Amino acid sequence: MTEIFGVPTQALFGQLLLGLINGSFYALLSLGLAVIFGMLNIINFTHGAQYMMGAFGAYLVGQYLGIGYWASLIVAPVLVGVTGVIVERTMLKRLYHLDHLYGLLFTFGMALIIQGYFRYYYGSSGLPYPIPPELQGGIRLPFMFLPWYRGWVIFLSLAICLITWFLIERTSLGAKLRAATENPMIVRTFGVNVPMLITLTYGAGVALAALAGVLAAPIYQVSPLMGADLINVVFAVVVIGGMGSIMGSVVTGFSLGLIEGLTKVFYPEASTTVVFVIMAIVLLVRPAGLFGKAATTTAGVESTSVGSGLDGGKVLNVAMAVMFVLLAIAPFFVYPQFLMKALCIAIFALSVNLLLGYAGLLSFGHAMFLGSAGYVAAHAAKVWGLTPELAILAGTATAAAMGLVVGAIAIRRQGIYFAMTTLAFAQMIYFLALQVPFTHGEDGIQAVPRGHLFGLIDLTNQLNMYYLVLLIFIFALLLVHRIIHSPFGEVLKSIRENEARAISLGYKTDRYKLMAFVLSTTICGLGGATKAIVFQLASLTDVTSGTSGEAVLMTLVGGLGTLLGPIVGAFVITGMETYLAEWGQWVTVIQGVVFVICVMAFRRGLVGEIAFRTGKPL
């Protein structure tokens, strides 16, 4: 048996084929994302769910209508594309005039709805979808065996990518599309129906995702979760290639698939993170990606700050005092375990709101600081034998140090590139937590001792533990209150509103954003470390991107850019997860619905709406 670099030839080419297959799906999916972003400026987080819908569409039309694979290649993408058109015409078009953030959050909520619905009806296990008889079998090459179906997938994916690129870059239709996104008013004067053109463009991008799902069904089976993890990789592909770059998505998709395949041969442990490592490196060298144009916009968000003056400050202080009293007596009426969870998550939401609501920076990987602090605190308490206060400090310090490193890199980027950089680091931390020995992989660190606070107060007593958590929460809230009402906080708000003007006034905005990022990650780590001690567990759940998304949802529900909003949002969302747990996957659907409603019609949130109507900052 021949070898290349010490690896059997057949094994090497087998992994390269697998990488090319994955690259085909990366290219098709990232192509759809690039079309939607380049033409509509919408970051479509629903893309993974639409990929899954394509696979299910092929499965369902085969089961109930008797439509075979070849017809499904057309029928399923068209059906899923039509659902995309309906969503675009009824809801998504209302967000075009807003910051990219709202389109991203809306599509994230839609993804939760779709995935939750399919998981409820079909479970999480895969459903088989047969390879068409015409493509069964394969051919024996001198160096490997090539299945006909996999060769077909590579060929069709490449053909569709090149045809799409040609239509957009080399035809009059593509010229109209590009012109419509840059100056729709002028294009309308030539008799072009711009809204319809945009709608069809979005539908075509969705159909490309669904087509990838149909192609994937015979290889990976049909599962509600098949697009959940893949979408993060595809976003990385798009960012590396350049947001909106058609050819960049195609070239990068196939290239990264091959690199991933090679990594599986020579260093399998890194195969799940190599794409995100490359993404972080590329963004350092070329902030707009390999084929992208320099970003010209920032990720500023709508200001929700209202009211001012002494009376407004008094209202906020009274509201905080009443909240503290209610929380002090709450464990005598409400289950303390629920209250402690809600308070820990509220600290997490406060940290996200400090960054997003006051600095205008969306971190889509903030859970890495929550989870990492939890792991360190749990390990320190269980293995090193540290007292709980020292374990919590160790976890918090870890999050602060990580925030300094990640922030120093991420704040050089703007807008979606900042969010994607944090997501890249979060994915690396997730896979690191899955593999390093001290985290115990999927089992997590269990049976973490609560110990005695300062060697005196027994924290195995629920009330003792609760009041410690309450004190930590009060400290975090007062710290955030001090930050946002200080001169430093005023500078952050000015950066959020108009960074260029802040720079013209002489402020070193990158330094302020880095300080805000580190403060945010430190507070986040405090919540994560406390949570690990309270629940005597540190697990992978706390480092997933879904957890980061939940924290953003909490700030939206409560009120983005308000002090008390994230706390209200944390209690609402945690309450839903706790008291609606028996509803199973419907909880995910409900969360998605809440997400969509907040983005579409309730962007001020609960506390934000009260603050707006009363004119008092809360």
- Among 20, 15, 427, 32, smallest CA distance to 257 is for 20
Residue 138 has pLDDT above 70, yes or no: yes
DSSP 222: B
Residue 308 has pLDDT above 60, yes or no: no
Lowest mean pLDDT among 20-34, 171-185, 570-584: 171-185
**DSSP secondary structure, 415-430, as one string:** THHHHHHHHHHHHHHH
Phi/psi for 252 (5° steps) reads -70, -40
pLDDT of residue 310: 36
pLDDT of residue 214: 94
Strongest mean pLDDT among 1-15, 66-80, 267-281: 66-80
Pairwise pLDDT comparison (603 vs 324), residue with the higher score: 324
Q: What is the pTM of this model?
A: 0.82
pLDDT of residue 616: 67
CA distance 526 to 348: 8
> Coil, helix or strand for 567?
helix
CA distance 120 to 117: 5
Phi/psi for 537 (5° steps) reads -155, 140
Quickly count: other Cβ atoms within 10 Å of residue 308's Cβ: 11
Total length of the chain: 618
Quickly count: other Cβ atoms within 10 Å of residue 275's Cβ: 26
Termini Cα distance of the chain: 72
Query: 323-344, pLDDT tens digit by residue?
Result: 999 999 999 988 999 999 999 9
* Mean per-residue pLDDT, 363-375: 93
Structure confidence at residue 28 as a pLDDT band (50, 70, 90): confident
Query: 525-565, pLDDT tens digit by residue?
Result: 999 999 999 999 999 988 987 788 888 888 888 888 888 99
CA distance 81 to 44: 14
Structure confidence at residue 18 as a pLDDT band (50, 70, 90): confident
Separation in Å, CA 483 to CA 354, 434, 528? 9, 35, 20
pLDDT of residue 360: 85
DSSP 604: T
CA distance 75 to 53: 12
Comma-separated ranges of CATH 1.10.3470 domains in the chain: 309-614
Strongest mean pLDDT among 163-167, 277-281, 419-423: 163-167
Structure confidence at residue 299 as a pLDDT band (50, 70, 90): very low
Query: 449-468, pLDDT tens digit by residue?
Result: 998 998 889 999 999 999 99
Residue 404 has pLDDT above 90, yes or no: yes
* Mean per-residue pLDDT, 145-167: 89
pLDDT of residue 304: 46
Lowest mean pLDDT among 93-97, 125-129, 359-363, 412-416: 412-416
Lowest mean pLDDT among 68-82, 277-291, 344-358, 362-376: 277-291
Tokens of 249: 């998505």
CA distance 238 to 278: 12
pLDDT of residue 343: 95
Query: 200-247, pLDDT tens digit by residue?
Result: 888 988 999 999 999 999 988 899 988 887 887 888 888 888 877 888
Query: 89-118, pLDDT tens digit by residue?
Result: 888 888 877 777 778 788 888 998 999 899
DSSP 486: S
Phi/psi for 509 (5° steps) reads -65, -35
- Among 434, 322, 296, 330, smallest CA distance to 375 is for 434
DSSP 131: P
Residue 53 has pLDDT above 80, yes or no: yes
pLDDT of residue 525: 96
Residue 6 has pLDDT above 60, yes or no: no
Separation in Å, CA 95 to CA 105, 114, 298, 465? 11, 20, 16, 44
Residue 301 has pLDDT above 70, yes or no: no
Residue 307 has pLDDT above 50, yes or no: no
CA distance 169 to 186: 20
Q: Does domain 309-614 have CATH number 1.10.3470?
A: yes
Q: State the chain's mean pLDDT as an integer.
A: 85
Kind plus residue range of the DSSP H or E element containing 453: strand 452-453
pLDDT of residue 461: 92
